[in-house]
Structure 1
Amino acid sequence: MKITINRYTIQIIFILLLVSIPPLIIASAYNANLFLNKSVELIDSKNRNELVRTGVLMENTLRQIKDIVFSFSNDAKYARTKSVVDKSKIMEQLYADKQMNKYFENIMLYNKTEDFVLVSGYGIVQRMENTPFEWIQKEVMDDQMTPYQMKLTETRKQEPNQLKQQPDKSPKYVVSVFVKLPFLDVSQNYMVFNVNVENMYNDFLKQLNIDHDIYSYYLTDDSGKVIFSKNIEEIGSIAVWPQAMAPNKNKVVNSYKLESLNWNLVSEINNSALYHDMYKSRNQMFSMFVFLALLIVGMIMFGSRQLYKPLRRVLARMTNVMSSRTAKQGEFEWIGTVFDKVIQSNDELKLQLSQNEQLLTKTLLLHLIKNRLSHSVDTSAYLADYDQSLVITLWTIPSEAEWLNEEETLQRKLEAALNDRFSVDLFAESPHACIALFRLEQPDLNALIVDLISSFDEEFLAEVTISIGGVYQLDNIHRSYTEALYANNIGRIYTSDTNLFCYNKLPMDYEKSRFSDDATADRLELAIRQQNEKDYIDLLNGMFSDRISVNEYNCNFYHTVSLLIKLFDQDSMMLLQDINGLINDKGIMNVATVKQFFYTHFKKFTADYDSDFNGYAVKIDTYIAGHFAENFSLDDVAEYIGVTKQYICHLFKEHYHKTFIDYLSEYRIEKAKGLLGETRTQISEIGRMVGFNSNSYFAKVFKQYTGITPTEYRTLLWNRERNRQPSLADI
């Protein structure tokens, strides 16, 4: 049997083949672009991980240096330099102590009263003028340091001949760390540690800077001044960080905070050089795909007339088939099917809106609990049900609990036991730690404790630790969280016979917990109230010395904290936050750190916390209100107010417990919320109007503060407005 194919059939087959090619080309281009993007993400992730890994290693090294420095300041022998014998012993000790850390270039003891310096491996310099050590005299000339306080200098170039080194040696770059010793024997002494930052750079960062055209890792201080870099000329200059932290296609700048010495490890990666070959290949590939697609489209348009007749027949057949199916099904059945699909889509939309509202509410609550949110337009709209007595409880269990697994977590166990009996919101901090916010009908903590205990079996209560804060309204709920955290930290240290700690019920005197001297508490309070620095330091030295037992040490710490909380009164919440930070950083058993902590708050006791800040806060808010939509730096704000940017950072840290950047981002997000609800402007344009240059960065920050995207937030607002009942004012 002979098979014949007419001309139309051949044309249709050819054109159909051409039509099928563009989807294949598009799919290939999409997959190639996806592969390149994933490769870029993988490389970026590797670079970030490398920064964090190096930062952790450097932080451990700097923490060791800091511990050594504070151990020197706590040693009384370095404050006695009267006799020649004392000086000789100190010289020998300094030379031996220099070997404690490979990054110590040398250690010096400077006597400001008699104007001489003892240098390890060098000798005694009696007169400082016209010597390589004259800079020490200048550093402490207008000294405002307090005893045990640590101060860092800028990077200094130390020539070989300054310390009798070999002339052929290259110069060294050092950062000097000053520690002021307590005033003793009518002499004021300072310990000076010269840290070789070049050696530190060679050990940690040199290998990361092998490719100079792409990678640049360096160290800066908090003000952005370069401590050490691969380019020696950049030392002491202001780096692009943190002004360049905003997204940039050509350069990515990241930083890791080195808390021990308030330094920053900064990485600059040149994206243009790093991905140059990858993007070049992708562009060439796209150009080829576009050319092929245009060629095929032209051929399809050329043969469209021939394709029209067969397509018309196919469409006619499809119409007949659909008509026959509708006729068989019936018009009413077909309309019913359409309505069912509409109802199903509407139910799915309502469910999505409900989930977004719950996520927004929980995010707002968590920000308020942790004091991350100064103000929000959403508080009154979404948290109206929280206008009653509120209390925060912290729940923790050992990570090795036998019943803890992927299916049975602490949060799920609490939900099963508490949701039916209490009005409670749960926030999982980790699989074995959870925050619970209780809404109470009556501010009765005793009743809450009884109900909580009766909600669980004895086995669970034996392994869970419950910490309870005070009762507050919504605007002060962060106080309850801070108190619960304090009760958890202090209670676990001083008691072992209970797993339930309530801030308002912490015992003022634990069993066997008393000052070593009954009059110590009165003398300590009197020294604080009279601001008697000498008596206060003497008492601290006695209460936290190496001669007392661990039990006495813990007892003295608890009672000193209790006394400060009582004396600070309205500012006690700020003190509680500082104490929680000290305990969480495991600094409670470091004698020098504890002394410095108590001394710092001793100086703050009579300080007027708001005298400067209230005036500057008004100016800062005024500047932000007028310039939030612009790109400005902290230097611009400092120049407008008339203070240094370091002082502005200090004000925000002390009074807001957040950075200036976080405060500005929060302000911009609140402005964006208003525009999302009141206008129909495109979301990308709204981001630009409130000061975000990148739409993706705007969406990222918005979700960080609200828990949902700008699009989901706008949909939620419009839905609430559509469902709002009209009021008398509207009528």
Structure 2
Amino acid sequence: MRRIRQLKLNTRSIFVKLLISFLVIILLFVSFNLFSLTFFRKSVRDELIKYNDTNMSNTTHDFEEYFQLLNSIIVNLYLNKNLRDSDSASIDYVAANHVIDDLRNTVSNPRFYLNNLFVYDIKHSLILEKARGASPEAIFSQLYTNPDYTYDFWKQEFAQKVFFKMYPAATFTEAPNLSPVSQTGLVFPLMIKSDFYPDYIMLAFIDTNRLYKAFHQSINDNFYMLDNLGHPLFSSDSTSRHQLPVLEPGKDWIKENGNYYFYKKGEVTGFTYVNIVPDAAISSQIFHLNLTLIALLVISVLISIAASVFFSMRFNNPVKKIVDSIRHFNEKNTLGKHTNEFELIKENIGFMLKSNQDAHMNLEKKTSLLRYYAYMKRLKRIHSDSDEIHASDEMNQPFRFILFQLTFKIQFSQDISEEKERATYFIREYVNQAMGKELNDAHTFQIETDQILSIVYMNDQTQQWMEVLNTIKQVLATDKEYFFFTIAVSDLYEHSSEQTSAYEQVVKLVKHRPFDDETRILYDEDVKEESFLLPGTLEQEINVNLQEGNDTLVLQTLRRVLKQMKKKEVSTPVFYRFAEEITDKVQRILNSLHLDTNQVAGSAKSIRLMHTTQELEQYFEMILNEAGQLIRLKKEERDPIVSFIVDYLQDHYSEDITLDLIAGKLNITGGYLSTYFKEKTGTNFVDFVNEFRIKQAVKLLMQTDMKIQDIALQAGYQTMSSFNRIFKKYLGVTPSEYRRNNIQLNEGASGY
């Protein structure tokens, strides 16, 4: 009785319960597999029979397609032009040779599986084949002989009114008096006639072995072919020891004498195809399958039992240690006697978890705050007498800095009422959770209102941190209509003394991000210390068009430049400097024309709020449109003398124009005209004429393919030297260089 009670108590042990549970699962698994093996055994046999029947169907289909193809080939021979040409009163040997060539080409095609092909010309008593032409008697008595297929046999067959007939496979041999002696191998003789061409009979020798190997789809070699009367045509079993049983109507196979006989009848030829599969072969496959499944089942059971014992012990050992720890820490010894370890843990571990959790949260809060101040002191290079970080072992491990620079878009302020600082706080919490969940010893701080810094200590997490970072990037990019991030990753640093350098590196990376509004991850190799210089020709073109109030042309030029900068992956600061330079240029031109620059809404502050080339284009369009309107309004205040000179230049700039010529037309002196023109326009008369002519030359250079010499004459310059000198004075380059530079710029912009 005591032993029974002890056994009952032992069965409450966690080890015994786990082991029994595993064994019950194994028993259910074995029962299910044995039931499945018994239930599906017949299905396996049926599937094997179905598989062989399907193979027989495929074999029959392939044979029938072949005979249909061969019939089409032979019918085409009746339509052969060379054969028609030979149909004359006497033998046309040229046409006959052409027919022999056609037969040879047909026989040589490996897809037709032919040994030879004969054309019997009844009118001329001549048989043509792939190598020669001869009389029927010579062909079947000397060249192709067989005891069963003699000349008399073929003479009788040719005389019968049969249009498609296959003969049993046989081997044909040349007569002994010919040398060398050769054999055709096993071939099917196939005779085909035509009502439309009664003077010709076709006879094909089909290579039986090649045909059999190509179309027979079975692992067994017992294969038979019967003609439409049931007579054997071919047997892969040379002894022909199988007596084929009679198949019951409506069935495709029959089992008899320990064999399965699979029958299929061809729809085209009417031939019957038979495949014989010994029952031992199917039974052997089922036996081997059963044996394999049983062996796997036994091995699986043994492994499962061993694994059950192993995992039960592995699970039981930690539980025992937990129980020992509970007994050790419970100094009052108030624990009851429990055989089941889980009951003991359940009753006594609650108060330990709560006390540990409270202590841990308090310590974690203080440690986190201390770590934050310590890191800030290092990054900002603030020296103090105490070094709180010195006590942490992780500070001397290899590390990386990851800086998250948050950039808010205008849409954020319009659609979201939350403050930017609050939004940054929530984002910091997400980054902190994502980093801390996957990476050990990763710390995340908010160091500015729009900057979050994470410190990742490498250890063995070299690839893991990159996966986490890509996941964070995908999440942060979901709200791209409101803000985007620049995620800068520093190099791997070995010691905590290099933290300031790491911080400076990520700050530099952030400043050199590409000019777009996509969330990006940047590494040191992504930093390009590039600059973009506006070509002198374009700068002069912009100045000239601005002074003329042609804001549309200036905008087209700037768009080409922006596309080229985008193609070269110029960084954001370069785009900002370029926009500021264009803004400054517009204001300087307005100042030179004594126009109010306050009417043009362009400033460095508004430029810094733009993050894409599309936004810059809109900005340029706005300020250029405003500046162009001011300049055009200024030019509409025209002086009559200046207007006359401009109109005259427009019509006669290609002619010789002098100050005295214009003064004479105005009935004033040249000196007065020079002083008056300089006072009204701020430009000398000669400079004004040259500038006007150069503008016309620029249009011709860009809009036509005229030669530069012709453009010089068209612009009013009689010599190339004076044209080149004045052109370079105004635009900084020669006419040919100007055309070449602008073509390259246009090609670069169109390739973007």
Which structure has the bigger radius of gyration?
A: 2
Instruction: Please indicate, yes or no, whether the TM-score normalized by the shorter chain is above 0.5.
Output: no
Select the structure with the greater relative contact order (CA < 8 A; seq sep ≥ 6). Answer: 1
TM-score (norm 2): 0.30
